[in-house]
Amino acid sequence: MVKVKDIVARFEEFAPQQIAEKNDPIGLQLGSLEHEVKKMMVTLDVRPEVVEEAIEAGVDFIFAHHPAMFVPVKHFDLADPQNQMYAMLIKHDITVYAAHTNLDNANGGMNDWLAEALNIEETKPLLPPKAEIWYKLAVFVPEEHATVLRQALAKAGAGHLGDYTACSYSVSGTGRFRPKEGATPYLGEVGQVSKVAEEKVEVVFPAKIKAKVLQAMQAVHPYEEIAFDLYQVEGLGQGTGMGRVGKLSTPMTVNEYVAFCKQVLGLQGLRLVAKDPTRVVERVAVLGGSGAKFYPFALKAQADVYVTGDVSYHTAHDMYESGLAVIDPGHHFEAICKPHLKQLFTHWNEQNAWQIEVISSKLNTDPFTFI
């Protein structure tokens, strides 16, 4: 039996909540992490028509990029279509989870998918990357159990550094303890001080797998009370950041690149801000969703074109005067996430033998129409 929490735990190894932007309402939106999943659907938005689609398809779990609840519900008045949607989800026992800016920031996530589609190569984060949080675990174990412990920690993903796995460090020493009345010690006698030959095993790992590593330690450690140290360390892991910037695989003019974007993103139209549409494009920045306010970072990165959605009138004037060409395909161009998310969850489904069905919403939830 696979539960929502199992699927979420695997996803958050890929895009942990810690890398989301501050105050972003990500995570469980409605339902229960303990809910059993037999069929899940990935979608960009959670809208009434998407919920109807999920109900008709017999879906247990909706995984969305955009949170269903950007604004908290103050009055559950069913005259409100949004509240009606929540009621339908509850009635049909459908759990909803959202991964927003953590998916945007994740390495191999939303902005990398966009960069790949838009032929942007040799990319790096557009905004200053944030350091990934890593921990060091130092755990004390009887010498005869040290090998089993190291193997369990490695299997959980601890000690993975670059091209090396199962990295650890050990030092031998003597452990001392006196079991109190009521204790059931693995070694020693109640009321007597015991001396045990122990190893101190040290491993490092990213914060996103902390729970898995600690569970692995607890599962194989023989002691009733485990002595260990856990603390953050610096200088390890990869940074994560919003947006991407890199070089175009084949230089072309702004007008040619606009036509290319319309084609690969399947758009009827888009908006262009450009003083010189005949200018040759060699370096491109992209940021999924509403990234207009970040255009100074595209200028600093010496991008010729910045692709992002929801550009406002006055900001567009500032962009125009700066000389930066800006392509606004609309916020909905993030719908590119649907096939990628389906591929990810299908892979994890097979890898973990979940035996669930993974489908993608077939609806276009873009509220805008070009006429």
> Contact 206/91 with Cβ under 8 angstroms?
no
Annotation-wise, does 104 bind a ligand?
A: yes
**Alpha carbons 166 and 203: distance in angstroms, whole number:** 9
Sign of the C-alpha dihedral computed for residues 240, 241, 242 and 246 taken in this order: negative
User: Residue 322 carries which side chain, given as an amino acid letter?
Assistant: S
Sign of the C-alpha dihedral computed for residues 47, 53, 54 and 55 taken in this order: positive
Residue 148: both structure tokens together: 């089993």
**Alpha carbons 174 and 168: distance in angstroms, whole number:** 19
Annotation-wise, does 45 bind a ligand?
A: no
Annotation-wise, does 304 bind a ligand?
A: no
Annotation-wise, does 100 bind a ligand?
A: no
Q: In the beta sheet, which residues pair with residue 169?
A: 202
Contacts of 20 (CB under 8 A, 6+ apart): 26, 100, 101, 102, 105
Other CB atoms within 10 A of residue 137 CB: 21
- Which residue, among 362, 279, 270, has the nearest Cα to 324 in the 3D structure? 279
Element holding 88 (H helix, E strand): helix 81-91
Annotation-wise, does 331 bind a ligand?
A: yes
Binding-site positions for a divalent metal cation read: 65-66, 104, 331, 334
Binding-site positions read: 65-66, 104, 331, 334
